[in-house]
Structure 1
Amino acid sequence: MALTNGNPSSSSRSRAAPNGSATPSASTAVNHTNIVTTKDGRSVKTRIDPSLAVADVLKQLCVNLQMPGPAVDWALRDDGDELVTDDNLKKMIKTRARLKIVSAPVLEARETVERIAQREDPALRLTLYNLQRYIREPAFSAEFLRLGGLARLVDVIYAAHGNTLAYALAAMQNLMILDHGWAALDTAFVAHIVHILASPSSLINVCRPATAILKRLVEAGPANAPGPLVASSSRGPPPAPPGSVYRFGFDIVFSQLRAAPGALETVVSRIGVADTALALHSMMLINSLLAHATDTHWETFINTLEGLSTRKAVIGLMSSHMVDDLTSCVLDFQANMARVMYRTKTTYVEPAAEPAHANALDYIWTRARLVVERDEEDLDGAQIQWRQLGFETENLSREFGEVGVLGLYCLKYFVQEDPDFFAVVVQEQRSRAPERRCPLARASNEVVELLAEHWAIFAPGYAAAPAFQPFFLNFYKVHALALRFFLRMWNESSAGRADFSRIVALVRSQVKIALRQESIRPWHEMEQDFGEVEYRAVRDRQMKELVEEDDLLSKVPIRNLREKLLREAKEFVLQQRIHCLMQGAWFMNAIPITAPAPRRPARPWRFLRLDKGMKYLHYVDSAVKFPVRDGLEDLPERIELSLVSEIATKNCAPPPRADEHTLVASALSFSLMTNEGSLADLIAPDGSRWADWTDGLNMLRRDSGHVASQETADFIQALTDIGLKIKLLDLSGDKVEIPSGLSAGAPPVNSDFYFSDFYDPQ
């Protein structure tokens, strides 16, 4: 029931029942009173029945206030211009929000399109400012698009500048949250956004939405279209259907970024700018590009990022004052780089087919200052080239088989770091008797394997690293330090060819020590661990470790088994976290520690639950906890997950007491952040719930892949270790001999063979 002036007229003393009949409502009247303001400035006190639909409320208000025109021409908004809907009406009533009667979204959309077409400043600027908010409303956006508003908004983006351009881009950014309506954007528009982004004269408030638009375009590729998963062919994912916004993607955006001079360089340079929001958008764009890079431009893109020292920029961000606001993005970047490392490691070295591989090998050989020799023991006089550097054969594809292109580039970096040192080492080893030489290239590959094992670079998927890993992002430098350590241990122990595995074990032991606690240890301490420790100290510690550990774990088949079990553990944890989100949980409503005037929430508790479509978080705020039924009936409010750009952690505090004047962040707090602020600030009841939700929500994000909690990382590790022990018990019980390595044997000399069917005489 809607009552005006606190005194209902005879026409409003009843509410509409579902069947259209009228039922008395005196006994169901509520005590909440809202102030409603009309367009002509009249303010009245209104009592609204929360069981009514918004359309029925408007009908009664229009009758009581004698509003011109039909009720469908009007709508209700609060002071913040949030549209009153059936979903939030109860909240508006309970909080006694000040409401105002305004034009319906459909009429607002028509007026907005007309005003945009007129192109009159400052009227246009105000229109675009309001459009940023209204464009998210389904009724408004549908009418806006139907009337050709998209084309007119694009025209403004081409012609405007300054704040007008910033508002237009922000409106486009919010429109692109929708999964429809903007498929008509073309390549020229993408190129213009890239130009705006790369222009040194662009304002910060212009660059933020421009970067966000590019990120959305990257994500709108055919492979990311919603719907049932279809097995893609070798030619890639199927094309997007006509009218779908999923017709853009990485290839289109990256092609325009390459065409614009300095565009990617500008994005990378903005990682460390003082404006946190711009740095956040830049990091999110880079992460999105990394997560959606296609085979077509993958190598070019990765090489471009490496050339721009992107890793160095992110490492610098780890120690900056903005790190708390960008933690999630940094962890996402680490996870993406783990995927890059895995792909590089599993890409075969093919010097005959890949010019980049041939050039890298040519550089290494030239800096070695050697000449090709002939094998005197071979009747055909076979060449001895790469065996002089420590490879076992001249077949480089096979030599780099376990470490791929990653191994090749690590060796190249080692040479580049100090070419003279490399040449001296090679000449020194060549001067020794063959059985006393250190196989340098083989040692380099083994160090790559040890580092990949340490950082779990096993398979695509989110990285189980809840903390910063600056050493990991410096993979090539760490490899160079560890390889120098390998050479020093070889020399100090007077090792020979038969001692190779013993030196590998020493290096494995030192890697664990040198790379421990990398999120808090300075670089120079890690350098000292590799460069100054004595052979005897390493040997003594390694002997103690051998007493506690089984050498079986270091064998290649066991490492491969561990890799497989790790992938399975990660997938299991993913499903478990999503299940927890669908069950739902109670949280405390918290206050951001940066809030200028912290106020205690009116309702201290919030229950959240993920819907089965995994698109919305449904919730209810309450003064007390209560049993929440299955389903979503008890959860009238919801948060759209596509709006969430980051899960910020440890940045909120419990509501302060009356005598408290400072806020202390809770370790169990987290916030659902958007481009414009926080959608929810919460504190979990315990560490397990915090881990479930922060990691689960991160897994649901389009461009995410990191783990936020040590508990989840430990859980994955424990599952892997348990699974490995069970498998090893099966093998040891059957007394199976596990070899250190497997040889594939020589390939067939011709194609005159076939694979026979397995025959079982039983």
Structure 2
Amino acid sequence: MQSPNLADLLSSLSSHEDAGRKMAAFKLQSLINDPSFAEHFVLAGGLPLLRSLILESTGNTLAYSLASFARLLEVDQGWEAVDDRVVVELVVCQPLVNILRGAMAILVSIVSRPFHADRSSQVITPDNAGGFQALKPAIAIYPQFLEMLVTRLSSADHALCANALQLINSLMRDAITNDNETEWPKFIKRIQDLGVIKAVYVLMQSSALQDLAHPLLEFQALTKILLRRWRDVPVDLLKPEHRRTIKAVHLSSNPEKPPQQEDRNGASKPKHNPYKWRRLGFTAENPEPDFADMGFLGMMDLSDYVRKHQDEFQRILLEQSVSLEQTRCPLARASLTITAILFEHFEVDRMDLEDSKSYLALESRTNFDKVFKPLLLHWGRLHVAGLHAFLRLWKATGAETDDFPKIVELVRILVESVVGGADRTTGIEEIEKEMASFEYSKLRELQMELLELTYEDVWGPHLRGAKDELRGEGLQFVKEQRIRCLLAGAWFPNGATYSDQETGGPVTESSLLRSGPESYRYIRLSDSRKHLHWGDFDEKEEQTPSTASLPGKIDLSIVSSVASNVTANDRSSIKSDSTLKELPHDKFTTTKITIHGYLPKSRGGRDGHSRTSSKTSSARSGSKESVLLTFQPQSHSAASEWLDGLLMLLDQQPITTETNKLINLISDYGLKVRLLNVRFNDDEGIVEGLDGMDGPQIPSRDGLDEDYYYEI
């Protein structure tokens, strides 16, 4: 339904008063967004009025009119009134930011017109052509248009920057899509020469990223499309441009003048050099097959390196000419390899659909560092830095021709580490410096870590299951060993090294300065492993006391907890449900172990420790936890044996470092022994991709004796 304000609006647009026209143009900006209103506006004759306003007005009135016309084009109305020359003239000549915004928005619609969703059924003729072709006549009149457009990317107004970059994106996309193979590279080179790469790189690293996110991300996607297009152009040395490029690389190498030979007619001509292209690092004397993977992109990167580092290029070739052939680094192959590594690192082959998902990620405004890759714009400098790193690693490792794949892997890791680890604000100069100074030893460490992660991914589930099984076996083995220590019994000193047993106080300096032990305590686990027998003696006896001769007896079923300072430095290994209790840890920490429990109600007898209840529940009901026994091993090793032995008897996990190290050592040895039994042709399929292949030859033991050992 027609808006009731439309007639008044049209009347104001045709008014002779500037204030009336300005207000009408201002209101039209918001109203024109409605497709229904836009259609009625055109049918009511508003389009000629708006066009006249653009041609005749200035200042804010012109800015409002341009914005209204741009929005009218967005709803696919008003195309018959478009004047490309006028809009291009405004972009070139107008200094006001608000006017430039509207003018560039109109040009974006014009350039994007062939891809408008609603115009798929409309025939595009030269009179209504869109894309870059529509602007070419106007740009011919104003050749400074592209330069002014790139200059706008440095504007302090973010909206103007966004509009300018959006227009550049539209021109690039149209050129790549619609121009022929020889035209679009010329246009791309032209805008790059004007500094568009540097300007966009600065914007990507700026703090204004949020206002420019979408056009910047589109420019990044277009950069990938460009790289992909160049990669997809096959190198054909029959093409003049390709032949000139590869010839320039050869001439830049400062080749020796070939000897002359006479033809059948007696005229002298250069003799063919059988090592012309292999000298530069190509695989064979026909360089074309080496470009099969990276296409014209690989040739461009090689050519740029040679052109910008010609002296270095000649020096390297001169040095290699006096060295053995197998020690020479193949420069051309190395250059093409760096191109492939960068191509893979930046995921240039990723489809536009996946890039479009990044737009959705920007809505959170927290993914900028993940989505934006400013270093992609410095492809050429990254290629040179990678090639320099390749040459440096080749020399540092003393590599030979057969080692080429190994250096490739090292450089790939270097790129992933340095370039992949850089954040959005890291400058290209920092990247170049880090790649030039990255140590080979650190690179090898990274390589081994990645290799370990790779094996973990492939073998992880199998190894984890084997490790868990072997750790359980190791735990049972150590448990038996620790309990056997308790079954064997041991002497422990009383007196000087103990705290006050009556008060349970800590060890003091005075107690540490006392003379030797006043007595000894002997403790042994019963053969049934259910009772702990102990007794005090004035001195050690040569014969170990029998269990029957020990007066003290503790039923392990009434033991509630074990307290010790042995694990004071290893608290992280203590579980929340452990029966272990820790004593205060200070400079007087000892290896004292205290056993707590619930004594049953006494029915007589001189020693409550020797009387226990048959059932733990009855012993603990209504009883107060008491100290059943204290003793102090004379070394941490002995303390570990007795503390963990007691805990294991109580079905608790061991907690001392010594015991856990022993368990891990046993399980690791067990795993290595099992791995020694893995054969090349096992049916388990551990070695993948080798079906149908003969296994490696098993070494013969002829002439060997048994004087050998395994280093594990």
What is the distance in 2 between the residues matched to 1:390 and 1:524?
28
1:373, CA displacement in angstroms? 4.8
The residue number in structure 1 matching 2:205 is 319
Q: Determine which of 688, 691, 697 is the counterpart of 1:735.
A: 691
Indicate how the Cα distance of structure 1 residues 552 and 446 shifts in structure 2: closer, same or farther if over 3 A, else same: farther
Query: Is the Cα contact below 8 Å between 2:111 and 2:130 reproduced in 1?
Result: yes
SS at match of 2:66: helix
What is the distance in 2 between the residues matched to 1:552 and 1:486?
29
Query: Is the Cα contact below 8 Å between 1:371 and 1:385 reproduced in 2?
Result: no
The residue number in structure 2 matching 1:344 is 230
The residue number in structure 2 matching 1:613 is none
Query: Is the Cα contact below 8 Å between 1:144 and 1:150 reproduced in 2?
Result: yes
Structure 2 unmatched ranges of 5 or more: 262-270, 359-369, 459-684, 694-712
The one-letter amino acid paired with 1:316 is: V
The residue number in structure 2 matching 1:252 is 134
Indicate how the Cα distance of structure 1 residues 488 and 137 shifts in structure 2: closer, same or farther if over 3 A, else same: closer
Matches within 5 A, 1:384-423: 384-423=275-314
What is the distance in 1 between the residues matched to 2:223 and 2:456?
30
SS at match of 1:458: coil
The one-letter amino acid paired with 2:280 is: L
The residue number in structure 1 matching 2:251 is 366
Q: Determine which of 113, 118, 133 is the counterpart of 1:220.
A: 113
The residue number in structure 1 matching 2:433 is 528
The residue number in structure 2 matching 1:559 is none
The residue number in structure 2 matching 1:608 is none
Figure out how many residues of one structure are paired with residues of the other and give that number.
Answer: 440
What is the distance in 2 between the residues matched to 1:133 and 1:160?
20
The residue number in structure 2 matching 1:301 is 187
1:281, CA displacement in angstroms? 1.3
Indicate how the Cα distance of structure 1 residues 265 and 519 shifts in structure 2: closer, same or farther if over 3 A, else same: farther
Query: Is the Cα contact below 8 Å between 1:482 and 1:507 reproduced in 2?
Result: yes
Query: Is the Cα contact below 8 Å between 1:374 and 1:383 reproduced in 2?
Result: no
What is the distance in 2 between the residues matched to 1:372 and 1:403?
31
The one-letter amino acid paired with 1:361 is: I
What is the distance in 1 between the residues matched to 2:692 and 2:137?
54
The one-letter amino acid paired with 1:207 is: L
The residue number in structure 2 matching 1:263 is 145
The residue number in structure 1 matching 2:97 is 204
Q: Is it true that 1:538 corresponds to 2:455 in the alignment?
A: no
What is the distance in 1 between the residues matched to 2:254 and 2:457?
39
The one-letter amino acid paired with 1:344 is: W
What is the distance in 1 between the residues matched to 2:79 and 2:315?
60
Matches within 5 A, 1:496-645: 496-520=400-424, 521-549=426-454
1:256, CA displacement in angstroms? 4.1
The residue number in structure 2 matching 1:277 is 159
The residue number in structure 2 matching 1:576 is none
Query: Is the Cα contact below 8 Å between 2:378 and 2:428 reproduced in 1?
Result: no
The one-letter amino acid paired with 1:330 is: L
**% of aligned pairs identical?**
28
1:540, CA displacement in angstroms? 4.4
Query: Is the Cα contact below 8 Å between 1:375 and 1:382 reproduced in 2?
Result: no
The residue number in structure 2 matching 1:241 is 123
1:302, CA displacement in angstroms? 1.7
The residue number in structure 2 matching 1:610 is none
The residue number in structure 1 matching 2:172 is 290
1:385, CA displacement in angstroms? 3.1
Query: Is the Cα contact below 8 Å between 1:372 and 1:383 reproduced in 2?
Result: no
Q: Is it true that 1:480 corresponds to 2:384 in the alignment?
A: yes
What is the distance in 1 between the residues matched to 2:133 and 2:432?
40
Q: Is it true that 1:424 corresponds to 2:321 in the alignment?
A: no
1:124, CA displacement in angstroms? 2.5
What is the distance in 2 between the residues matched to 1:289 and 1:373?
48
Which protein is richer in helix relative to its size?
2
Q: Determine which of 32, 43, 61 is the counterpart of 1:135.
A: 32
The residue number in structure 2 matching 1:441 is 332
Q: Which moved more, 1:239-248 or 1:484-493?
A: 239-248
Indicate how the Cα distance of structure 1 residues 137 and 549 shifts in structure 2: closer, same or farther if over 3 A, else same: closer
Query: Is the Cα contact below 8 Å between 1:367 and 1:423 reproduced in 2?
Result: yes
Q: What do residues 583-613 of structure 1 show as CA deviations (whole Å, max 9, x unaligned)?
A: xxxxxxxxxxxxxxxxxxxxxxxxxxxxxxx
Q: Determine which of 97, 109, 117 is the counterpart of 2:6.
A: 109
1:142, CA displacement in angstroms? 2.4
Q: What do residues 336-356 of structure 1 show as CA deviations (whole Å, max 9, x unaligned)?
A: 21222112222222343253x
What is the distance in 1 between the residues matched to 2:187 and 2:456?
40
Structure 1 unmatched ranges of 5 or more: 1-71, 73-103, 229-238, 554-728, 738-762
Q: Is it true that 1:190 corresponds to 2:84 in the alignment?
A: yes
Indicate how the Cα distance of structure 1 residues 243 and 537 shifts in structure 2: closer, same or farther if over 3 A, else same: closer
1:190, CA displacement in angstroms? 1.4
What is the distance in 1 between the residues matched to 2:153 and 2:29?
26
Q: What do residues 292-317 of structure 1 show as CA deviations (whole Å, max 9, x unaligned)?
A: 43241422222123212222212211
The residue number in structure 1 matching 2:477 is none
Query: Is the Cα contact below 8 Å between 1:218 and 1:292 reproduced in 2?
Result: yes
What is the distance in 1 between the residues matched to 2:395 and 2:371?
36
Identify the structure with bigger relative contact order (alpha carbons < 8 Å, sequence gap 6+): 1
Query: Is the Cα contact below 8 Å between 2:158 and 2:208 reproduced in 1?
Result: yes
The residue number in structure 2 matching 1:160 is 57
Query: Is the Cα contact below 8 Å between 1:438 and 1:487 reproduced in 2?
Result: yes
What is the distance in 2 between the residues matched to 1:525 and 1:205?
38
Q: Which moved more, 1:536-545 or 1:422-431?
A: 536-545
The one-letter amino acid paired with 2:130 is: F
What is the distance in 1 between the residues matched to 2:457 and 2:399?
23
What is the distance in 2 between the residues matched to 1:214 and 1:326?
18
SS at match of 1:352: coil
The residue number in structure 2 matching 1:31 is none
1:443, CA displacement in angstroms? 0.5
Indicate how the Cα distance of structure 1 residues 325 and 494 shifts in structure 2: closer, same or farther if over 3 A, else same: same
Query: Is the Cα contact below 8 Å between 2:111 and 2:174 reproduced in 1?
Result: yes
1:358, CA displacement in angstroms? 3.9
Query: Is the Cα contact below 8 Å between 1:240 and 1:247 reproduced in 2?
Result: no
What is the distance in 2 between the residues matched to 1:437 and 1:295?
44
Indicate how the Cα distance of structure 1 residues 209 and 353 shifts in structure 2: closer, same or farther if over 3 A, else same: same
The residue number in structure 2 matching 1:453 is 344
Q: What do residues 611-641 of structure 1 show as CA deviations (whole Å, max 9, x unaligned)?
A: xxxxxxxxxxxxxxxxxxxxxxxxxxxxxxx
What is the distance in 2 between the residues matched to 1:190 and 1:163?
21
The one-letter amino acid paired with 2:65 is: A
1:479, CA displacement in angstroms? 0.8
What is the distance in 2 between the residues matched to 1:204 and 1:736?
72
1:287, CA displacement in angstroms? 2.6
Q: Determine which of 97, 120, 123 is the counterpart of 2:20.
A: 123
Indicate how the Cα distance of structure 1 residues 736 and 476 shifts in structure 2: closer, same or farther if over 3 A, else same: farther
The structure with more radius of gyration: 2
TM-score (norm 1): 0.53
The residue number in structure 1 matching 2:560 is none
The one-letter amino acid paired with 2:58 is: H
